[in-house]
Every structure is written in C-alpha cells, then in structure tokens.
Amino acid sequence: GILQLRTAIAAKVEALYGHRYSATDEITVTAGATQAIITAILAVVRPGDEVIVLEPCYDSYVPNVELAGGSVVRVPLTPGTFRPDFGKIAAALTPKTRLIIVNTPHNPSATVWTDAEMRQLDDLLAPTEVLVIADEVYEHMVYAPLRHESAARYPGLAARSFIVSSFGKTYHVTGWKVGYVAAPAPLMAEFRKVHQFNVFTVNTPMQHALAQFMSEPAPYLGLPAFYQHKRDLFAAGLARTRLRLLPSEGTYFQCVDISAVSDLSESEFCLWLTGELGVAAIPLSAFYGDGFDQRVVRFCFAKKDETLNAALERLAKL
C-alpha cells in the first residue's frame, strides 16, 4: 500500500486504541477484508494445524482454513445470546491449535465483545502460542453506550493478532475492495510473503483518495450515530410485529426470533418472506456448518429510510 495511506491508518489506530503500529512494516493495505483474512490464514496455517472458528461465522473462514490444509475446530457461541463460551473455547485448545478467528462486532448476530470478554480471551491465550485473526470490519458501527474493544487495546492480544478492517464498510464503498491489516512486524513479514503473490498491489487511485479522506476523522467518528438512527427506526417498526428482536449492539444487522410468527425453518421462512412479502432476510443456519436452526433470521438495515419504512409496512402483515 502507499505510505501515505499506511501512515494515516497507523495514526487512526493509535488515536482510537492507543497502540502504535509502524506504517512501514506493520500495516498492509489489502484488496478488501476477505483477502486480508485468507492471506493471514495462508501465511501461518500449515497442514495439520487446527483453527478455532466461533459459529455462527462469516462464510469465508472455513473454506480459507481448508484451502491452507488446516483443520477447522468449530466452537459455538452461546445460542440465543451469541456470547463467547470460554469454557468451550478452552476445551478446544490443543497443542495443534495454531489460530483462533474472533469477529467483533459480530456478523451475523450483531453482538459486540465486551472489555471483560477480550481480557478473558487474552488471559486464556497468554500461556499459549496461538495466533489471532481479529476481524474488526464493523469497528465503527458500535452503538452507545458500548464501544469497540479492538484487539489493539490489549498488549497481549496485539502481540499475537492480525487485525483486519475494511474501508468498504467504514466509508460505504464496498465495491472498491480496499481494507487493511495491522500486525506485529514478524507476523506482517509472513503476511506479505503471501500478499506479494496473491494480490501484489491494491487499487492505487483509491488508496490516494482514502488517504486524503482519512485526514478528516468526522466521517468514521460519526458513523455510529448514522447507523444507530437506522437501527432504531427499523427496531421501532419491528417492535410492532410479532417478531422478537435480539439486541443489535453493532454492525448494520438486526436479528429476530421468528418462533411466534411461523413454524417454518429459518431457510424456508426466508424464502417465504421474500416470495410473499418481498422482504429479504438471511437464515442464521446458513452461518453454521451443521445448519443449526434456532428460529432466528437476520435483516440488514443499511438502507435508505424510505426503503426501511417500506419493508416495515410489509412486515407489519406478519
């Protein structure tokens, strides 16, 4: 990535989370966060290594690990609340564990890890050599009174983590496919060995644009309020239906329990909802390896207010 952009990223991370990364050898610009994640996995996972994945999870994690020859160890987040179960995470750790992937704010559940949970993860991993991919692409979509607890805030985690973020999510330019990774220099050296040959370089004109735009922090500092308005608008409308809202602490997703409105499975309900009411939702079962169905579906409220209101009019028929 261009040095101007890497310098801006390092300054932003330090201002927000108190950890200074070297723009020269600890920040790399990537072709989106998904490329960042697979590159980090390919850099450190070898055949026979185990990688802990917390389910439900973003759909690229498991194929990425398998492509690297690693073994996926699925650990469920607590059903219903989607909080991390550290007893189950501890039980999954073995001498073969190379990596754990942590996603906060979390897609698909819209939960946000707390300071206490991050510290518990730090303590759990302290006696090990397990590395972390901290998928933090929704870092600027955390709603009051919560804050984003980046792995960069915790020296023990920062020392073992590839921290991934996304300009596409932050600046509403997902089609540009530009993200970045921050990691200690030894880890970044391994990351760049793979990055050099699977991407080589990233959309240079957009890097210059982003570097210039980052000089003003207001757009990303104001993002929580922007999306919280949409979350609250959508949640207020859903509260008038028989759908039961789950907490939306971060991201631009709202999960709901469909038990009171349908006996269909999650996937069948989403197909019915799209076909009959013209409103799209995603079954959470799609984010589990075994298709675990807990009668919960995910809506996205990253839409114009008029679109959200139109959807709410249709959902009111449920």
- In the chain, the amino acid numbered 235 is A
Instruction: Return the number of other C-beta atoms located less than 10 Å from residue 49's C-beta.
Output: 18
Q: How many H-runs (helices) and E-runs (strands) does the chain carry? A: 13, 11
User: CA nearest 153: which of 312, 314, 20?
Assistant: 20
User: CA nearest 207: which of 42, 67, 61, 1?
Assistant: 1
> What is the total count of domains within the chain?
2
Q: What is the pLDDT of residues 81-120, one digit of tens each?
A: 999 999 999 999 999 999 999 999 999 999 999 999 999 9
Q: What is the pLDDT of residues 111-148, one digit of tens each?
A: 999 999 999 999 999 999 999 999 999 999 999 999 99
By three-state DSSP, how is residue 306 classified? helix
What tokens were used for 212? 């210039």
Look up the pTM and report it. Answer: 0.96
In terms of DSSP bridges, do strands 97-103 and 50-55 run parallel, antiparallel, or are they unpaired?
Answer: parallel
Cβ neighbors of 265 (< 8 A, separation 6 or more) are: 283, 285, 293
What tokens were used for 42? 């390919």
Are 62 and 200 in a shared domain? yes
Q: What is the pLDDT of residues 177-236, one digit of tens each?
A: 999 999 999 999 999 999 999 998 899 999 999 999 999 999 999 999 999 999 999 999
Are 257 and 289 in a shared domain? yes
Are 39 and 182 in a shared domain? yes
Are 73 and 194 in a shared domain? yes
Domain that holds residue 54: 3-216
pLDDT of residue 101: 98
d(CA 159, CA 176) in angstroms, rounded, equals 30
Are 206 and 244 in a shared domain? no
pLDDT at 79 over 90: yes
CB-CB contact of 17 with 161 (8 Å): no
Separation in Å, CA 72 to CA 96, 233, 259, 289: 11, 39, 31, 10
CATH code (residue 9): 3.40.640.10
Are 69 and 208 in a shared domain? yes
Are 200 and 239 in a shared domain? no
Q: What average pLDDT does the structure give for the chain? A: 97
CATH code (residue 243): 3.90.1150.10
d(CA 203, CA 30) in angstroms, rounded, equals 9
d(CA 180, CA 31) in angstroms, rounded, equals 8
Among residues 216, 242, 268, which one ends one of the domains?
A: 216
pLDDT at 174 over 90: no
